[in-house]
Amino acid sequence: MTEVVDDGQVPERIVVKVGSSSISGDNRGQIETLVDDIAALRARADVILVSSGAIATGLPFLGLEARPADLPTTQAAAAIGQNVLMNRYQRSLNRFEIVAAQVLLSASDMGVDQHRVNALNALERLLGLGMLPIVNENDTVATHEIRFGDNDQLAALVARLVRADRLVLLSDVDALYTAPPGTPGAQRIARVPHGDGLEGVTLGVSQSAVGTGGAGTKVDAARIAADAGTEVLLTATHLFAGALAGEDHGTVFEARQAQAVRSA
């Protein structure tokens, strides 16, 4: 197990969210690279990973290529895939003697005070023990009517819950653009000042057969976190290490000023 050193310094707290299409199917090998990056990040920060991918990971075991339309089959895929996904993470984390801790949340958990406090206490304790919390929506019991809908929102709510310094939203798209990537004339947006309405920006939807998010859900999530005082970086999974090293990748959503957050 990773040794926890208490030097009196308060470490930065970072929530990292990765999308289904980045760690499932042909991209399942990216789990290794993602774990490399998280292990390096943990040397200077408390890290919580919010990972999609349970349903996508479970689909091949049911002989399916796309997300099913009916709820029971979706729940079955999630039940199978969550186990396999956590196993893949732990096997990779073993290289660094890091122990993963599975945390499954539902939308109702975040809407009930006692449940929200319980989730916060569990996450704080896991971080204090040197574990890597891996959060996902509890898709096996979630319903179409009461669910987050995508893990971008879940990640933003977790970041707000634990008062994270930074939220990193990873996907297969490298940044936010003025129009969907590939559209003629679309340009990368490097920074979004807090409160910017992004007028004139056309947001696309997910083209993945297994994911549910898109640029719109990421912008909505970024605003939730930024309003709570958390800076947000949106970038591609394979660019994560470079972005953390200061390379100019992705889109940064500037956080609301700390003084304004405290007085709100």
DSSP string covering 3-37, please?
PP---S---EEEEEEE-HHHHSGGGTTHHHHHHHH
Residue range 172-184, pLDDT digits in tens: 889 999 888 888 8
The H or E element containing residue 102 is: strand 100-105
43 pLDDT higher than 80: yes
Phi/psi for 40 (5° steps) reads -65, -40
Looking at residue 150, what is its pLDDT? Answer: 72
Mean pLDDT of 73-94: 95
Helix (H) or strand (E) holding 51: strand 45-51
Answer whether residue 115 shows pLDDT above 60.
yes
- 17 in a known ligand binding site: yes
Give the whole-angstrom CA distance, residue 161 versus residue 92: 28
141: exposed, middle or buried (C-beta count within 10 Å: 0-12, 13-18, 19+)? middle
pLDDT value, residue 252: 95
When the pLDDT of each residue in the chain is averaged and rounded to a whole number, the result is: 87
What is the rounded distance in angstroms from the CA atom of residue 13 to the CA atom of residue 44?
9
Can you give the pLDDT at residue 197?
77
Record the tokens describing residue 120, joined without a space.
């916060």
Residue 257: predicted pLDDT:
82
Percent residues over pLDDT 70 in the chain? 87
Q: Locate tokens 């920006």: which residue?
A: 201
What is the residue-wise DSSP string for 154-194? HHHHHHHHTT-SEEEEEESS-S-BSSSTTSTT--B--EE-T
Q: What's the pLDDT tens digit per position in 214-249?
A: 788 899 999 999 999 999 999 999 999 999 888 999
Amino acid letter, 229: G
Whether residue 93 contacts residue 178, with contact meaning beta carbons closer than 8 Å, is answered with no
For 113-128, letters b (16+ CB in 10 Å) and e give eeeeeebeeebeebbe
Domains, the chain: 12-263 (3.40.1160.10)
pLDDT tens-digit readout, 183-192: 888 899 999 9
6 annotated to bind ligand: no
Per the model's pLDDT, the better-predicted residue between 263 and 103 turns out to be 103
Over residues 130-150, mean pLDDT: 77
Q: Give the pLDDT mean for 140-161.
A: 78
In this prediction, what percent of the chain has a pLDDT beyond 90?
64
Q: Judge whether residue 146 has pLDDT over 70.
A: no
Residue 151 assigned ligand-binding role: yes
Question: What angle, 0 to 180 degrees and rounded to 10, lies between the N-to-C axes of helices 71-93 and 30-41?
Answer: 60
Going by C-alpha positions, the residue among 88, 89, 169, 98 that lies closest to residue 132 is 98
Which range (71-80, 153-162, 206-215, 237-246) has the least confidence? 206-215
| Cβ proximity of 250 and 172 under 8 Å | no
